[in-house]
A and B are shown apart, each in its own frame.
Chain A
Amino acid sequence: MQTTNPDGQRLMLRVENLTHRVSLETDTLTILKAVSLEINRGESVAIVGRSGSGKTTLLGLLAGLDTPTEGTVELDGAIISRLSEDERAQLRAHRVGFVFQSFQLLPALTALENVMLPLELAGMNAPEKRARELLERVGLGERLTHTPRQLSGGEQQRVAIARAFASDPAILFADEPTGNLDNRTGQEISDLLMALNQEQGTTLVMVTHDEQLAARCSRQFHIEAGELTEPVAQVELAH
């Protein structure tokens, strides 16, 4: 397991020749075909594409939630497919944060406890203090004891963002973070996400439908039927 990066590598994520297939009842379905990409530290990257094109699958593989059929993913210097499941869990606990379309807060826990959870799992000191700070940062300082059911969608996503940044991750994965929100709220959430990302200097990998949000990232990857079309530089796109 590798959680630090002594030689200060420039690369945060390197993907080579990633192919993912699932076997169905009659035949096998290839969801991703030979995807290769590299993402640098501190970069913010958007993955865009039509529904069903394989974005979520790719994100799951990049984050080590799943293992690919072929190819390698090197995350923060560790080759994911060579780690055991528990080692991958450790890596996620210390280096990776997540934001989901459907928030994924535990309904039994309060906002504060939801944010504390990853801190406790990573065995960090003073989890409550850190969680309070973050919740105040996302504007929910007054709602610490509320459970997810007592919060609106936007507020829940704020809690999720606070949770994602809680363990001070090196990289943050977000799967359509504004997908379940109305335009205005989505806008606010995007602002918050980008701002925190800036402040913390986190690498951000985000799947989104929201063109405006994608446009705020430094790079975009387009995916079509499981294949990557070349990454387009922000600058070119602006022309």
Chain B
Amino acid sequence: MFRNQYDTDVTTWSPAGRLFQVEYAMEAVKQGSAAVGLRSRTHVVLATVNKAASDLSSHQRKVFKIDDHVGVAIAGLTADGRVLSRYLRNECINHSFVYEAPLPVGRLVVRLADKAQVCTQRSWKRPYGVGLLVAGLDELGAHLYYNCPSGNYFEYQAFAIGSRSQAAKTYLERRFEAFDKYSAEELIKDALFAIKETLQGEKLTSSICTVAIVGIGEPFHIISEQAVQEMVDALETREEATAEQSGGDMQDESGNPDAAAPMEEI
């Protein structure tokens, strides 16, 4: 995107009918590290790439449990993501308190979208710079939503956000039609494969990714690093056995703009 006029504040339309500040906020999501989500009829899996800023630091949390039946994975400004997670948790707790029942995920994402929309129509605010993949359950089953800074939200069978997410999306587009009938283990495997696609040749280990799952009869939880590593190892042996090229076709190394913009998370 190039320098635009009419982009100084969020309450100024461009002559072409665009709100540039909102679009810039969506750019922030694209700069964050990848997150993917996949859904079957009964389960939803979220997986994220967690890169630490340096060997000295810990990596940022990108997956948050919101309630027993809902979790989110974020990409973009993690501080915004953390604050929104707190909001989502509060909404779930308040609903449960009054109705003694879990807040259906479809209602939760609408509230989140409305909150994001407010920031696109106030001159003293800025849009949230974070995209959320919301995984959750309601009476009808499992759902995966994507909430973006614009205040829009969409439901998906599978989706990927963040940097190099296009590689993951291409992979998912090939496979998504089978997802509905997948078991939890198969979903997790495909999530790991999708994450692998975004790494472009870098080795996938459980120390650089986080995997979480929620399903009917299975409360939202983050899968332990050990269990993830076992699945990653199983993937690799399967890969070698079938001699199938499941690695990305992109040859270029990651001499990539990790040189960050100031507010950016890794």
Q: Do A and B come from one complex?
A: no
